[in-house]
C-alpha cells in the first residue's frame, strides 16, 4: 500500500473527531473507480463512518489552472482518507464582520492566522478538488441509502469541506438512513477567472458537475443510491444548485434539489459585467503578466504565478475601481435571463425545496461597530432580505408552479439563547445551517447557555422534513404534512415562538414583494 502525497499535505481539521487508529477492514475501506479509500469511525459520533478526502478531479494546477476540471483516470491506488482536504485558494476578510467575530466555525479552519488580514487562507491549496463522505457506520453495501450532495456558501469567494459547523456527523449519526457528501469547488479568480484566452469563464460550475458525476458513478460502493441524490447548497451553494437546474435541465442526474437561501433568480445581483476581462487583466498586469496584445501569453504567465501572490493581491487590493470575480453569463452554464429559461421549460423537472430565514440580511448588512447593541437600521435590512432572498424565491416558486413543478418551501425563524448574541440578528442568514447539520451546540453568545430542548426538537423536525424529501421528493413531504407550495399557501415555518414546526401562509412572507403588506423579519 502507498500513502498518497496528495493526502500528506492536507489540513488536519479539528472539528468533531480526531483521527482514530483504524484497520483497513472491509467496513472502512471502499473500492471506487478512481482509487481505494480507507476512512475512519467518528470518535464522538460512533455510528458514523467518514471518508474525509476523496479527489474527484485532476489537480487544477499548472496548465490546468483556470481551465475546466479534468476527470481522474481509473486507479487502484490506496489512500488513507482520514484528514480533510485543504480548502480551495481564497483570502480571508480584511475587515470586521459578524462572520469573523461570532461564527468562525462557519469558515474553513484557518491555522494560526486571524480572520481579518485580507491574506491568502493559510490552510488552502490549489490541489483542492476533493469531496468528503459521511455514512452510517454499519451500512451494508447494498443499502441504497438516499444521498445529500452539499455545496457550501461563501459568496463563491470562500468556504470548503473543512467547515466545523457544516460537518454532518451528528445528523447522520441520528438518522442512520442517509449519506451526506460535501465538496470543494474553485472560488473567486480560480473559479470564475473570465480571462480573455479562456473558452469557459465559469469553471467552478463544472467543478460542481464533475463532483456530482463522480458521486453518481461511485456512491453505490458506500451504500448509497445513485438514483436518489439530492443536490443541496446554501447561499452561494443554493444559487449554484439552482444554476444546475437550468444548465443541466435535460440531464440533472439528481432526483431533487434543495436551495437554501438563494436561487438562480438571485444571480443578477452578483453577476459580473466584466465583458472586457479587465479584472483578470488588472491582476495579471500587477503580477508581471502584462501582455495587452497577447491573451494566450497573459493566461500562460498567470498559470505560473504562485497562488498566494494572486490571493494576497486580490484580498488587499485597494485600487481605483472594484476588483471582483463572479459568475458571468456565457449562455451555456450561466444565463442572463432565467425567467425566459423557466418560461420556455428549460428547467429541471425534478422536485425542489427553496428556503429562507426570517432576517436574512441581519448578518450580511455592514457590521454596526459604532452601535452594536441597537444594530443596523431595520428597514434597510428588510429591503436587503426582500431583494436578495424573499422576492427571488417567490418569483422562482411562481414560475415553477406555472410549469406544474413540485416545489416545497420553508422559512426558518428560530432564535435561541446560545445562537443569538444580539436580538436584532433574529433568524439571520446561515443560522439554519447548524440546525440542518445538528451542530447547534456551538455557542455564539459567549455565555454558558447551551441548546434548549425546543431548539433540539426544531433541529430534528428540520432534519426529518429534509430526509422525507430525500427519500421520496414527490410523496415524502406530504406524508408528514408538508404540502407543495402554491401562492398564498403551504410554507412550513420552523422555530417561530418556540414552536418546532407549523404551517403558515406563503402570502404572509411573499406578499411584500408584490406591494401587499409589510415584511415581518421576526415572525
Task: Point out the residues that are catalytic.
Answer: 235, 360, 429
Whether 232 and 241 have beta carbons less than 8 Å apart is answered as yes
Say how many C-beta atoms besides its own lie within 10 A of residue 1's C-beta.
9
Say how many residues make up the chain.
523
Distances (CA, A) of 265 to 7, 334, 384, 389, 489: 39, 11, 15, 9, 21
Label the pairing between strands 501-504 and 491-494: antiparallel
**How crowded is residue 453: how many other Cβ atoms within 10 Å of its Cβ?**
8
Among the listed residues 462, 362, 372, 452, the one whose alpha carbon sits nearest the alpha carbon of residue 411: 462
As a whole number of angstroms, the distance between CA 58 and CA 116 comes to: 32
Cα–Cα distances in Å, from 486 out to 404, 468, 507?
Answer: 10, 20, 9
Cα-based torsion angle of the residue sequence 426, 432, 438, 440 in order, rounded to the nearest 10 degrees:
-20
Q: Which three cell numbers mark 279?
A: 479584472
Cell of 498: 418556540
CB 20 within 8 A of CB 43: yes
User: Would you say the C-alpha torsion 434, 435, 436, 439 has a positive or negative sign?
Assistant: positive
By three-state DSSP, how is residue 134 classified?
strand
How far is Cα 145 from Cα 147, in angstroms, rounded to an integer? Answer: 6
DSSP for 495-520, please give it: SGGG-SEEEE-HHHHHGGGGT-S---
Q: Are 89 and 66 a contacting pair, CB within 8 Å?
A: no
Strand partners of residue 231: 149, 257
Amino acid at each position: 500500500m502507498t500513502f498518497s502525497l496528495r493526502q500528506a499535505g492536507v489540513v488536519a481539521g479539528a472539528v468533531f473527531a480526531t483521527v482514530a487508529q483504524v484497520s483497513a477492514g472491509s467496513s472502512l475501506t471502499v473500492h471506487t473507480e478512481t482509487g481505494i479509500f480507507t476512512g475512519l469511525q467518528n470518535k464522538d459520533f460512533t455510528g458514523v463512518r467518514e471518508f474525509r478526502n476523496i479527489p474527484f478531479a485532476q489537480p487544477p494546477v499548472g496548465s490546468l489552472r483556470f481551465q475546466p476540471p479534468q476527470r481522474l483516470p481509473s486507479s487502484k491506488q490506496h489512500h488513507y482518507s482520514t484528514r480533510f482536504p485543504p480548502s480551495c485558494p481564497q483570502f480571508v476578510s480584511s475587515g470586521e464582520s459578524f462572520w469573523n467575530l461570532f461564527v468562525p466555525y462557519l469558515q474553513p479552519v484557518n491555522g494560526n492566522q486571524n480572520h481579518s488580514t485580507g491574506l491568502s487562507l493559510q490552510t488552502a491549496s490549489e490541489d483542492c478538488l476533493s469531496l468528503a463522505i459521511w455514512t452510517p457506520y454499519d451500512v451494508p453495501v447494498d443499502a441504497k441509502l438516499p444521498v445529500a450532495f452539499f455545496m457550501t456558501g461563501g459568496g463563491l469567494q470562500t468556504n470548503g469541506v473543512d467547515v466545523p459547523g457544516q460537518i454532518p456527523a451528528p445528523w447522520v449519526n441520528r438518522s442512520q438512513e442517509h449519506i451526506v457528501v460535501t465538496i470543494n469547488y474553485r472560488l473567486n479568480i480560480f473559479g470564475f477567472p473570465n480571462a480573455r484566452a479562456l473558452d469557459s469563464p465559469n469553471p467552478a460550475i463544472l467543478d460542481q458537475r464533475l463532483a456530482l458525476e463522480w458521486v453518481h458513478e461511485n456512491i453505490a460502493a458506500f451504500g448509497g443510491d445513485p438514483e436518489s441524490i439530492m443536490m443541496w447548497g446554501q447561499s452561494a451553494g443554493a444559487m449554484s444548485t439552482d444554476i444546475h437546474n437550468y444548465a443541466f435541465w435535460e440531464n440533472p442526474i439528481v432526483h431533487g434539489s434543495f436551495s437554501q437561501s438563494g436561487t438562480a433568480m438571485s444571480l443578477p445581483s452578483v453577476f459580473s459585467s466584466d465583458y472586457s476581462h479587465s479584472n483578470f487583466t488588472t491582476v495579471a498586469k500587477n503580477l508581471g503578466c502584462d501582455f495587452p496584445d497577447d491573451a494566450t501569453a497573459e493566461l500562460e504567465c498567470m498559470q505560473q504565478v504562485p497562488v498566494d501572490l494572486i490571493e494576497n493581491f486580490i484580498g488587499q487590493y485597494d485600487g481605483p475601481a472594484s476588483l471582483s470575480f463572479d459568475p458571468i453569463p456565457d449562455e451555456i452554464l450561466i444565463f442572463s435571463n432565467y425567467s425566459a429559461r423557466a418560461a420556455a421549460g428549460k428547467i429541471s423537472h425534478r422536485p425542489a425545496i427553496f428556503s429562507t430565514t426570517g432576517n436574512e440580511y441581519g448578518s450580511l448588512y455592514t457590521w454596526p461597530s459604532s452601535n452594536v447593541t441597537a444594530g443596523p437600521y431595520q428597514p434597510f435590512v428588510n429591503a436587503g432580505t426582500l431583494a436578495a432572498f424573499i422576492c427571488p424565491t417567490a418569483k422562482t416558486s411562481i414560475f415553477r408552479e406555472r410549469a406544474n413543478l413540485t416545489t416545497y418551501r420553508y422559512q426558518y425563524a428560530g432564535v435561541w439563547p446560545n445562537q443569538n448574541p444580539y436580538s436584532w440578528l433574529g433568524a439571520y442568514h446561515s443560522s439554519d445551517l447548524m440546525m440542518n447539520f445538528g451542530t447547534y451546540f456551538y455557542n455564539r453568545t459567549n455565555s454558558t447557555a447551551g441548546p434548549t430542548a425546543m431548539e433540539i426538537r426544531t433541529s430534528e423536525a428540520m432534519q426529518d422534513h429534509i430526509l422525507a424529501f430525500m427519500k421520496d421528493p414527490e410523496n415524502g413531504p406530504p406524508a408528514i404534512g408538508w404540502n407543495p407550495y402554491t401562492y398564498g399557501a403551504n410554507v412550513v415555518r420552523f422555530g417561530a415562538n418556540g414552536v418546532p414546526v407549523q404551517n403558515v401562509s406563503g402570502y404572509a412572507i411573499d406578499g411584500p414583494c408584490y406591494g401587499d403588506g409589510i415584511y415581518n423579519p421576526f415572525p
